[in-house]
A and B are shown apart, each in its own frame.
Chain A
Amino acid sequence: GAVVSQHPSWVICKSGTSVKIECRSLDFQATTMFWYRQFPKQSLMLMATSNEGSKATYEQGVEKDKFLINHASLTLSTLTVTSAHPEDSSFYICSAPGLAETQYFGPGTRLLVL
């Protein structure tokens, strides 16, 4: 089946630094990818829709200048958390749509900002 990978799987950074998370579709092309954030004991909240060759679409309340998304190719989308702060610590998960509405999720990236 289709596989989506994420890198890194976990990252610890200092407050004020930027962190880049990669999401790759390994055996299929994805013109669209979705980025979610999940805080402990909460649901997955969609942050933005990443579109290959065009600007990302952000959900209401998500700062586009803080969470930079670049869909560089048909198999790669990146999320950069700029000037990260402790409140940005979360589990970030990407997904890519496959056949028949199926969403293929990446394994997630756990971010801890100190």
Chain B
Amino acid sequence: GENVEQHPSTLSVQEGDSAVIKCTYSDSASNYFPWYKQELGKRPQLIIDIRSNVGEKKDQRIAVTLNKTAKHFSLHITETQPEDSAVYFCAASPSGGYQKVTFGTGTKLQVIP
């Protein structure tokens, strides 16, 4: 089955700096890669996603890159703000929402004011 590794497990940055979280996956059949933000005790919230036919996607301060050959994908948050503090999970799945999603191990991001 799919295995998704994520690092770092914790990340502290000063407000206004950038944060980068990296993930690798094992199953070449995976072609949908969502990123979730989870606040304590809450459900995961989709913040951005990318499909295998795209190498990069950006949405305001958030961007995701995908290297399908190397099976790597990364989340980039620029101009971080204290409200960005949360746990972030990468995930991977084959295409189609009816396919199961495998989550990474999570990164706890702390943005220091």
Contact = CB atoms under 8 A, between A and B. Distances in A.
Interface of A: 31-32, 34, 42-46, 49, 91, 93, 95, 97-103, 105-108, 110
A107 to B, nearest CB: 5
Interface residues of B, number: 23
B101 A46 contact: yes
B101 A103 contact: yes
A93 B43 contact: yes
Given A101-B32, A105-B43, A46 B102 contact: yes
Contacts of B44: 44, 93, 105
Contacts of A103: 34, 46, 97, 101
Contacts of B45: 105
Contacts of B101: 34, 46, 95, 103
B97 A43 contact: no
A43 B7 CA distance: 13
Contact of B43 (A100, A101, A107): A107
Dominant secondary structure at the B interface = loop
Nearest to B9: A41
30 contacts: A31-B98, A32-B98, A34-B101, A42-B105, A43-B89, A43-B103, A43-B104, A43-B106, A44-B44, A44-B89, A46-B102, A93-B43, A93-B44, A97-B96, A97-B98, A98-B97, A99-B97, A100-B97, A101-B32, A101-B34, A101-B93, A101-B97, A101-B99, A102-B97, A103-B34, A103-B97, A105-B45, A108-B41, A108-B42, A108-B43
B58 interface: no
A90 B96 CA distance: 28
B85 interface: no
A92 to B, nearest CB: 11
A-B interface, 3 closest residue pairs, ranked by CB to CB distance from nearest: A97-B97, A105-B43, A101-B97
Interface in B69-101: 89, 93, 95-101
A97 B32 CA distance: 13
Among B43, B93, B95, B101, residue most surrounded by chain A Cβ atoms (within 10 Å): B43
Contacts of A97: 96-98
